Amino acid sequence: MAEYKVVCVTKQRILATKTSKKEAERLVRNHRDEYGHEVTYFETTEVEEKPTGKELINDTVANAVEIPINDEEE
């Protein structure tokens, strides 16, 4: 599930929150933050998912390059 970052600017404060798409759409639709302050500006961007350690290891192994070792002695 993708996570979204919503930045809401109200007269009182700036609210930045990571939330689900459904909650992001609700904030945008209501034009009010959770305290009822009117939102004067908002921006919704999808947060890029960071790979887990296991995915990084799998990616590293999949993209590994074999380096030939010269065993001949001179």
pLDDT tens string 43-62: 666 666 655 555 555 555 55
Is residue 66's pLDDT more than 60?
no
CA distances to 26, 30, 33, 46 from 1, rounded to whole Å, are: 17, 23, 23, 11
Q: Per residue in 15-46, pLDDT tens?
A: 555 666 677 667 667 766 666 666 666 666 66
Percent of all residues in the chain with a pLDDT value above 70, rounded to a whole number: 4
The answer to whether the Cα torsion of 26, 27, 31, 35 is positive or negative is positive
Q: For the chain, what are the domain ranges?
A: 3-62
pLDDT, position 56: 52
Count of Cβ atoms closer than 10 Å to residue 6 Cβ: 21
